[in-house]
Amino acid sequence: MDLKKRIEKFKELEYEFNKDFYMKLKEEQTPHTLFIGCSDSRVDAETLFQATAGEIFQVRNIANIVPREEEPDTHPSVVSAIEYAVEILQVKNIIVCGHSNCGGCAAIRKLEMYKEKLPYTGEWLSQSISISDYIDYTYPEMKEEDKLIMLEKLNAVQQLDNLMTYNFVNQKFATGELNLQAYYYDIGTGSISVYDYDSVFSDMIQEITSSRKLFIDQEKKESLLN
């Protein structure tokens, strides 16, 4: 893989053939959509939306997670990008895109092991552990592969609830200025399931959020006692 050759080819072919487009593009960006996706190299927003440069503002991290407003956030890079997209770029859509065969979600299922091996990844992914716990508790008989698919889907929809903990998101959602949706992209079949904020998973998300709040309150109490 010769990366240098690839960028030379970009300049010679893509740029030269579309020079007017790029000359105009340099003036400003007016993306219509904020795409919050997994870092996974197979989840490519421009390909999925058949979009060109300047259309999609992106935040990508392992397992497409948005930290909740009320929880201690040591990773403000995610929220700062969302804040900028909503407040300054005034995007019309926020899409959280989960996907099949997600290594991040698979790691959530074995979090204790990952915490030792990959401490940063483990800490990051622990933000979604309550979803995995909920699935184990509610569907004890379910096969592990189905639990993983459910986690991939629920984790994407959960992030819509996490986004709504920020005033700059929920106020625009309430007035209809902002559309929130979660996607589940099945890589092998190319199909995408679309879930609204108020989806079939709403009741489950509410339960997960309540158990998460209890856990956070418990942690706060314990840290005060210590």
Q: Which stretch binds Zn ion (CB under 5 A): 3-11, 33-41, 86-94, 133-141?
A: 33-41
Q: Which of 37, 40, 65, 96 touches Zn ion by CB under 5 A? A: 40
Of the pair 67, 104, the CB lying nearest Zn ion is at: 104
Work out whether 38 is an interface residue with Zn ion (CB under 5 A). Answer: yes
Please state, in angstroms and rounded to a whole number, the distance separating the CA atoms of residues 115 and 125: 9
Least distance to Zn ion, CB of residue 63, Å: 6
Q: Answer whether 96's CB lies under 8 Å from 36's CB.
A: yes
DSSP for 14-45? IIHHTHHHHHHHTT----SEEEEEES-TT--H
Selected from 96, 104, 163, 182, the binder of Zn ion by CB under 5 A is: 104
Tell me which stretch binds Zn ion (CB under 5 A): 9-17, 23-31, 104-112, 136-144.
Answer: 104-112
Cβ neighbours for 151, distance < 8 A, ≥ 6 positions apart: 105, 108, 109, 128, 131, 132, 135
Q: Nearest CA to 91 among 156, 194, 38, 163?
A: 163
Number of residues that bind Zn ion (CB under 5 A): 4
Q: Write down the least CB distance from residue 81 to Zn ion, Å.
A: 18
Does position 102 interact with Zn ion (CB under 5 A)? The reply is yes
Residue 91: CB minimum distance to Zn ion, A = 22
Q: Could you tell me the CA-to-CA distances from 132 to 31, 82, 97, 129, 216 in Å, in that order?
A: 33, 25, 18, 5, 16
- Rounded Cα distance between 16 and 22, Å, is 9
CB nearer to Zn ion: pick between 13 and 192: 192
Q: Which residues, 140 to 179, sit near Zn ion by CB under 5 A? A: none
Residues that bind Zn ion (CB under 5 A): 38, 40, 102, 104
